């Protein structure tokens, strides 16, 4: 077995040297993803996107596109309230956001054709329509999502900090494919947990900074074994990956960005001591530290809720009870986030989005009783019309973009697509949406095949 103690017991054999290149970081908890990061372009430096990802498909009729004049079988059990922008109404369970409508805009005319969860998610997150529909919702993306793209393009300026972070976790149906596994999101775990510590940013048992530096020094001794050109090139690449890993583990700036315990109790309480609140607080800190894309996992606000996603089918849930439980927590988290971004002068640099993969059917569905022995009231999948909440990014706030018909069935005015949304995101990040990456067959693939930035937001 190769020994890597305080004293180097030489001479080291060449084979052991090559083994050491792969194994010497074995005492670290840093994932392989950080050992594979490569340098890339510096486009879009200084801007960030926070996505409040409402997987499951939130109902537009119970959030941001309510239809109080529709027939009862469409309008649902909840009521709209006025906001501080005349003419804009949102759900009654979001009074804090109602006081801040001048700091966000609502795109009510988003639409596509993918009615399964994974297909819809892939379309929204990558800006590319899946080649084949998968009604079983088991599809995996054939193209990277926008966070992976930003990681690849922005990584040259990262200085040790990941450029794509999943606050709690990242979407599970997208993968980096031809960009390389190093551009998967860095997942933090639950920042609301009492014992929260960011995953993979600490040294494993038995490892301390002195031993870590000893290993760095030992690895540097292996340079003399670089004899042929092929191995030399590979080992030099390994050096870059290894140094990035060391920088991430030893950088106080990086560790500080992930440490929400540095925030005051008042601030943490203002965001809410639940998953969504603390994830949004963490997202703000990461954006300030220069992370390009932060995905806030907004499936469930806490461990005790039975509403584990926004997939409000009647047999499982009553949509009123579900929204009553989670909308106040979303209201609290997003309100605190946009207040901080504006108060800190970050509203030009940080773009915040809140959406899911699609909306819900305009007509309500009923079930006699669900698994909680309650009367079920819900809505099914509906990609033909849904809403996206947008804040910051130097865009025009305090407006509604587009409109749906009287029952929120289809866009009636200014229809928008996920491709348009992604074009807006890429423009904010300073990334050319016509930029291409070669796929596994060597064919250039543009970031978007269609779509243009949403003009009304500009």
Q: How far is residue 299 CA from its own chain's centroid?
A: 12
Q: What is the pLDDT of residue 198?
A: 78
Peptide bond into 11 cis (omega under 30): yes
Rounded distance between C-alpha atoms, residue 207 and residue 202, angstroms:
9
Q: Please state the domain extents for the chain.
A: 9-38+202-257, 43-198+259-457
Model pTM? 0.83
| Alpha-helical regions (H) of 127-274 | 146-154, 209-220, 229-250, 252-258, 265-271
Question: Which ranges of 25-83 would DSSP assign to H, the alpha helix?
Answer: 32-35, 72-75
Residues 385 and 412: their CA atoms lie apart, in Å, by: 10
Residue 36 pLDDT: 35
- Residue entry with tokens 């990456």: 437
Residues pairing with 28 in the sheet: 203
Alpha-carbon span 288 to 257, nearest angstrom: 8
Angstrom distances, CA of residue 373 to CA of 73, 247, 316: 22, 53, 10
Q: Does domain 43-198+259-457 have CATH number 3.40.720.10?
A: yes
**Terminal CA-to-CA distance of the chain, rounded, Å?**
61
State how far the Cα of 296 lies from the Cα of 74, in Å rounded to an integer.
Answer: 30
Q: How remote is the C-alpha of 296 from its chain's centroid?
A: 5
**Cβ atoms of 235 and 21 closer than 8 Å:** yes
- The confidence score (pLDDT) of residue 29 equals 40
Strands 403-404 and 411-413, sheet pairing? antiparallel
**Which residues are CB-neighbours of 211 under 8 A, at least 6 positions away?**
6, 27
User: What's the rounded Cα separation, in Å, for the pair 370 and 315?
Assistant: 5
Residues of the chain with pLDDT under 50: 1-43, 203, 209, 212, 216, 219, 222-231, 233-237, 240
Give residue 197's pLDDT: 87
What is the H or E stretch that residue 329 is in? Answer: helix 319-343
> Residues 283, 167: contact at Cβ < 8 Å?
yes
Task: Give Cα 12 distance to the centre of its chain.
Answer: 45
User: Hey, what are 244's tokens?
Assistant: 């990035």
pLDDT at 374: 64
Looking at residue 147, its pLDDT comes to 99
Task: Find tokens 């494919």 and name the residue.
Answer: 177
* Alpha-carbon distances, residue 397 vs 36, 42, 48, 307 (angstroms): 39, 28, 17, 31
pLDDT tens, position by position, 384-421: 999 999 999 999 999 999 999 999 999 999 999 999 99
pLDDT of res. 170 = 97
What pLDDT does 290 receive? 95
């Amino acid at each position: 077995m190769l020994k890597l103690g305080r004293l180097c017991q030489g001479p080291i054999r060449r084979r052991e040297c090559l083994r050491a290149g792969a194994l010497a970081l074995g005492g670290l908890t840093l994932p392989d993803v950080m050992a594979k990061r490569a340098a890339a372009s510096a486009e879009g430096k200084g801007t960030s996107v926070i996505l409040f990802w409402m997987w499951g498909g939130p109902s537009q009729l119970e959030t941001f596109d309510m239809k109080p004049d529709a027939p009862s079988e469409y309008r649902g059990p909840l009521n709209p309230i006025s906001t501080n922008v005349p003419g804009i109404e949102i759900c009654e369970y979001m009074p804090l956001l109602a006081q801040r409508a001048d700091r966000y805009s609502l795109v009510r005319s988003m639409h596509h054709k993918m009615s399964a969860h994974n297909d819809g998610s892939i379309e929204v997150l990558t800006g590319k329509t899946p080649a084949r529909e998968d009604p079983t919702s088991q599809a995996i993306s054939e193209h990277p999502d926008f966070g992976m793209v930003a990681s690849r393009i922005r990584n040259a300026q990262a200085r040790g900090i990941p450029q794509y972070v999943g606050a709690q976790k990242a979407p599970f149906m997208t993968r980096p494919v031809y960009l390389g596994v190093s551009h998967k999101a860095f997942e933090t775990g639950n920042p609301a947990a009492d014992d929260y510590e960011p995953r993979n940013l600490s040294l494993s048992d038995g490892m301390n900074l002195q031993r870590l530096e000893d290993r760095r020094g030992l690895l540097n001794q292996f340079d003399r074994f670089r004899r042929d050109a092929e191995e030399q090139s590979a080992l030099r690449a390994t050096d870059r990956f290894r140094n990035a890993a060391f920088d991430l583990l030893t950088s106080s700036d990086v560790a500080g960005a992930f440490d929400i315990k540095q925030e005051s109790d008042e601030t943490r309480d203002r965001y809410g001591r639940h998953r969504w609140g603390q994830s949004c607080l963490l997202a703000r800190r990461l954006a300030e530290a220069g992370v390009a894309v932060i995905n806030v996992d907004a499936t469930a606000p806490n461990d005790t809720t039975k509403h584990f996603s926004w997939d409000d089918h009647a047999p499982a849930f009553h949509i009123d009870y579900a929204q009553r439980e989670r909308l106040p927590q979303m209201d609290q988290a997003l309100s605190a986030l946009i207040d901080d971004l504006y108060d800190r002068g970050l509203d030009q640099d940080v773009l915040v989005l809140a959406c899911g993969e699609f909306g819900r059917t305009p007509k309500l569905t009923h079930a006699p009783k669900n698994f909680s022995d309650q009367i079920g009231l819900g809505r099914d999948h509906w990609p033909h019309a849904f809403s996206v909440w947008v804040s910051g990014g130097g865009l025009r706030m305090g407006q509604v973009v587009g409109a749906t018909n009287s029952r929120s069935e289809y866009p009636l005015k200014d229809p928008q697509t996920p491709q348009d949304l992604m074009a807006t995101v890429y423009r904010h990040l300073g990334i050319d949406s016509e930029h291409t990456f070669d796929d596994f067959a060597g064919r250039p693939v543009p970031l978007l095949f269609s779509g243009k930035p949403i003009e009304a937001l500009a």
